[in-house]
Structure 1
Amino acid sequence: MFRRGAPAFRRRSPTGAMLFACWGDVVGPAHAALTTPHRLSTGTLTVACAGPVAMELQHQADMLMARINTWCGEPLVARLRFVQDPTAGIRRKPAPRRNTTQTCTLPDMADESLRVALERLGTEILQTPTKKT
Structure 2
Amino acid sequence: MTARSLGALLPAITEPAFRRRNPATVQVFSDWADIVGPAHAAVTTPSKLTAGTLTIACAGPVAMELQHLSDALIARINTWCGQALVARLRFVQDPKAGIRVAPKKAPSLRPAPICSLPEMEDSPLRSALESLGARILQEKQKR
Tell me if both proteins adopt one fold, taking TM over 0.5 as the criterion.
Answer: yes
* Distance across 2 between alignment mates of 1:50 and 1:3: 40
Which one of 48, 63, 66 corresponds to residue 57 of structure 1?
66
Q: Secondary structure at the match of 1:70?
A: helix
Runs of at least 4 residues off by over 3 Å: 102-109
Instruction: State the Cα distance separating 1:3 from its structure 2 match.
Output: 2.5
Q: Which amino acid aligns with 2:26?
A: A
1:67 aligned to 2:70? no
Cα distance change of structure 1 residues 103 and 69 upon mapping to structure 2, 3 Å threshold: farther
Partner of 2:3: none
**What does 1:1-133 align with in structure 2 at a 5 Å threshold?**
2-102=11-111, 115=125, 119=128
| Number of equivalences | 120
Instruction: State the Cα distance separating 1:97 from its structure 2 match.
Output: 3.0
* Distance across 2 between alignment mates of 1:12 and 1:3: 15
Deviates more, 1:5-14 or 1:27-36: 5-14
Task: Provide the aligned C-alpha RMSD in A.
Answer: 2.8
Q: Which amino acid aligns with 1:95?
A: K
* Distance across 2 between alignment mates of 1:92 and 1:47: 18
Structure 2 length normalisation: TM-score?
0.71
Q: Secondary structure at the match of 1:88?
A: coil
* Distance across 1 between alignment mates of 2:128 and 2:109: 15
Instruction: State the Cα distance separating 1:10 from its structure 2 match.
Output: 1.6
Q: Which amino acid aligns with 1:58?
A: Q
- Deviation string 1:37-91 (CA, Å, 9 cap, x unpaired) is 0000011000000011101000000000011000001110000000000000011
Name the % identity: 53
Kindly name which structure, 1 or 2, has the bigger radius of gyration based on alpha carbons: 2
Question: Which of the pair is proportionally richer in helix?
Answer: 2
Structure 1 length normalisation: TM-score?
0.76
Q: Which amino acid aligns with 1:119?
A: A
Cα distance change of structure 1 residues 91 and 103 upon mapping to structure 2, 3 Å threshold: farther
* Distance across 1 between alignment mates of 2:45 and 2:25: 14
